[in-house]
Structure 1
Amino acid sequence: MRFIADGMLGGLGRVLRMLGIDCSHFSGPAVQLLLIAKRENRIILTRNTRLKGRKGVIFISSQRIIDQLKELNQNCDIKKLIRPLTRCLICNVEIVPIDKEAVKERIPYYTYLHFDEFYTCPSCHRIYWNGSHRKGMEERVQSYLDALT
């Protein structure tokens, strides 16, 4: 199951990517959104009432992200899709391991000294590692998982 979030649900899209769920983002006109969704075989997530009720569209009425996540889960069971922290939060592409030496010149020296596992996005080349920010992200992921149970 693949999603595309419109401009009104960018935050939800980012959370879905954090959970490892394939969710791209598009903030242009609804006509283009419909074309992209069809071409890429994606389900549209929107708050746009003009798209409500259309085939391949899930209308999300909630305003808070945690409630949006619950609402989406009620529409289609997303729990089985969850693979936390496996996608680029920007590009939506699955991140892949990369050799420490290959990122040496692209990361802070302290990071190079204290961490051994690195991942990269094959699309935007952003580097990820399990730094101090990881604990906060894991806590957020857990709060989202708790909300879905």
Structure 2
Amino acid sequence: MRFIANGMLGGLGKTLRMLGINCTFFSGPEEKLIITARQEGRTVLTRNTKLRGKEGVIFIKGLKVIDQLRELDKKLSIREEFRPLSRCLICNVGIIPIEKVEVKDRVPYYTFLHFEKFYSCPICQRIYWDGSHKKQMEQRIKRIIDALD
């Protein structure tokens, strides 16, 4: 599944990325949004009523991210596609394992000493590791999945 979310659904788009779903963002005129989505093979996610009913567009009614996720899951069973924390939250690209020695000068010294597994975004080179921030995100993901049930 590949989505493109307009500015009205930034929170949903970020949450989809956190859940491992490919979702880009778009700000610009509606006509260009539709063209971009078609060129990239993406489904448009929007709250814009002008786009409601158009081919390749999913109109999202909910105001809260969890309600928006429920809507999307009901329409497309996206839950089956969840691969939590597998994408760069900035670039939307799959992150890859990286050798610890490669991050020595790229992460805080304490982090280098206390963690063994590291991951990197091949685009922006951002480094990820299994620290407290990841644990907080995992707790948030669990709450999201529980709320979808």
Aligned-residue offset at 1:79 = 1.1
Cα shift readout 1:74-117 (whole Å, capped 9, x = no counterpart): 11110110111100111110000011111111111110110111
Letter in 2 for 1:84: P
Q: What's the CA shift for 1:32? A: 1.7
Matches within 5 A, 1:107-126: 107-126=107-126
Gaps of 5+ in 1: none
Structure 1 residue 31: Cα displacement: 1.7
Cα RMSD of the aligned pairs, angstroms, is 0.8
Q: What number of residue pairs does the alignment pair up?
A: 149
Q: What letter corresponds to residue 28 of structure 2 in structure 1?
A: G
Query: In 1, distance between residues paired with 2:85 and 2:92?
Result: 11
For the residue of structure 1 that corresponds to 2:86, the secondary structure is coil
| SS state at 1:128 partner | strand
Query: In structure 1, what is the Cα distance between the partners aligned to 2:52 and 2:124?
Result: 33
Q: What residue identity is the alignment partner of 2:66?
A: I
Partner Cα distance (1:125, 1:51) in 2: 36
d(CA) in 2 for partners of 1:147, 1:29: 34
Distance 2:141 2:100 in 1: 26
Q: For each residue in 1:50-96, what CA deviation from the matched residue of structure 2 results, as whole angstroms up to 9, or x when unmatched?
A: 11110000001111011010011111110110111100111110000
Scaled by the length of structure 1, the TM-score of the pair is 0.97
Identity of aligned residues (%): 60
> Equivalent residue for 1:30?
30
